[in-house]
Amino acid sequence: MDPLNTKHILYTQFDTFLAGPSKKGPFTGFVNDSIFVEDGERWSFHRALLRPQFARQHIAHLDNLEVITNDLLKCIPGDGTSVDLQQYFLDVALDSATALFFGESAGAVQHRLALLRGETPDHPWGAKFSSAFDICQALLLIKFFYRNFHAWYNPQELIDAKKECFGIVDNFIHKAIRKHGKAARAAKASKPDVEADETGSKRRYIFLEELVKYSEDVELLRGTIIGLLVAGRGPIAKTLAFTFHCLVRYPEAQEKLRKEIYEHFGSEFDRSRITFESLKACKYLRWVIDESLRLYPSVPFDARTASKDTYLPHGGGPDGMSPIFIPKGSAVEYVPYAAHRRLDIFGPDANWFRPERFETLSQEMARGTEHGAWTYIPFNAGPRTCVGQQMSLTEVSYVIVRMFQHFEKFENGEFSQFVKLDMSLNMGLGGQGARVRSFAK
């Protein structure tokens, strides 16, 4: 939780402290070839493959989100019945990620809506994928905790769940290769590249279709997509859940946010007013999300492994402020959850939800000070900064705006004074989840 050490691990000595070794073993077999488990040249290759895709993703993203959020709002009871919003947000994040990556949503929100209405759901692969994917994530964390003995832990449940996930993802990969791979492109080469499909509408941006232009290696594509689904779904859903968890406990912040949202986007849904740019420009909304990520970062701790004998700037000597020797092969963990709550840096109210603190903190972050840039790291920092940051902030902001436009107010639906945290591959609310009572206008 020392900013100088964090900077040293994630930036100054980036090439010495490797991300792969602690993850590669346990996650091999699920994400064999993926940015998350690679270092060096292979990591650079993955990073170069992904970055351009994320720079363009927001183009189509809000269209997907609009459809999914419309269904979400129909699912949430508006009569003050307490429900766990985290479960609903997990559905939203899965649907929006699959719509963007595959061009076809898993339909998890529609599935929930159909069940609530007593109808028969008709998204056969979505429900199967969602439950197999959850099993994989939960069991892989156990595998991760086995560290060097991870190979001992390989239950049949995990083998079956992986098979289910791979089958579904591979189907989409083969379909994308057939439609947009090298052979398909060669066949179309004589025709001009038009931005419209047969119906004349603007072509929707689909991640997998872009990826197959760079590679048709099924294992690489599968690792990339599954890795992105792990990285994207949980953190987005859980950030949303924690944000509402905080807002119902801090009604003044909720009221202030409502005013800002109405000012920026109106009190009723008007699609022309909610854009990538307008979401970014709503300062208080951004501070609310930043503050929620400060108290509850989705990646609360992480590890790197020293690739040679090295040191950390702080930790040695009688007062812990001298350098400390780190032998080759040692795992070094850094803990944003603890760093984000340092009283000496964030002040005596560090454990409180106070979005206004970002008025000054965001300036420090922009200046790159150790306190700002290297203490507050929900999206990591340095060369391995999260590539999905903009996508996440857009999606989280969008859903919050729509929820506030649709409902009059939100109240706490759970009265335990203890917050239970749940740790799968990322941190969420445990116990009863994010229990919130929503009141329709």
Residues at the contact surface with ligand HEM, assessed by CB under 6 A: 19, 35-36, 47, 50, 228, 231-232, 235-236, 239, 298-299, 302, 378-380, 384, 386-388, 391-392
d(CA 371, CA 344): 10
Which residue lies nearer to ligand HEM by CB, 229 or 437?
Answer: 229
Which residue lies nearer to ligand HEM by CB, 158 or 377?
Answer: 377
Which residue lies nearer to ligand HEM by CB, 126 or 223?
Answer: 223
Task: Tell me how far, at minimum, the Cβ of 298 lies from ligand HEM, in Å.
Answer: 4
Q: Which residue is nearest to ligand HEM (CB)?
A: 388
Task: Tell me how far, at minimum, the Cβ of 37 lies from ligand HEM, in Å.
Answer: 9
Which residue lies nearer to ligand HEM by CB, 47 or 371?
Answer: 47
Q: Three-class SS string for the chain?
A: CCHHHHHHHHHHCCCCEECHHHHHHHHCCCCCCCHHHCCHHHHHHHHHHHHHHHHHCHHHHHHHHHHHHHHHHHHCCCEEEEEEHHHHHHHHHHHHHHHHHHCCCCCHHHHHHHHHCCCCCCCHHHHHHHHHHHHHHHHHHHHHHCHHHHHHCCCHHHHHHHHHHHHHHHHHHHHHHHHHCHHHHHHHCCCCCCCECCCCCECCCCHHHHHCCCCCCHHHHHHHHHHHHHHHHHHHHHHHHHHHHHHCCCHHHHHHHHHHHHHHHCCCCCHHHCCHHHHHHCHHHHHHHHHHHHHCCCCCCEEEEECCCEEEEEEECCCCCEEEEECCCCEEEECHHHHCCCHHHHCCCCCCCCHHHHHHHHHHHHHCCHHHHHHCCCCCCHHHCCCCHHHHHHHHHHHHHHHHHHEEEEEECCCCCCCCEEECCCEEECCCCCEEEEEEC
Task: Tell me how far, at minimum, the Cβ of 394 lies from ligand HEM, in Å.
Answer: 10
Task: Tell me how far, at minimum, the Cβ of 192 lies from ligand HEM, in Å.
Answer: 32
Task: Tell me how far, at minimum, the Cβ of 351 lies from ligand HEM, in Å.
Answer: 20
Which residue lies nearer to ligand HEM by CB, 107 or 223?
Answer: 223
Task: Tell me how far, at minimum, the Cβ of 43 lies from ligand HEM, in Å.
Answer: 6
Task: Tell me how far, at minimum, the Cβ of 355 lies from ligand HEM, in Å.
Answer: 16
Which residue lies nearer to ligand HEM by CB, 106 or 299?
Answer: 299
Which residue lies nearer to ligand HEM by CB, 302 or 414?
Answer: 302
Task: Tell me how far, at minimum, the Cβ of 389 lies from ligand HEM, in Å.
Answer: 7
Which residue lies nearer to ligand HEM by CB, 228 or 253?
Answer: 228
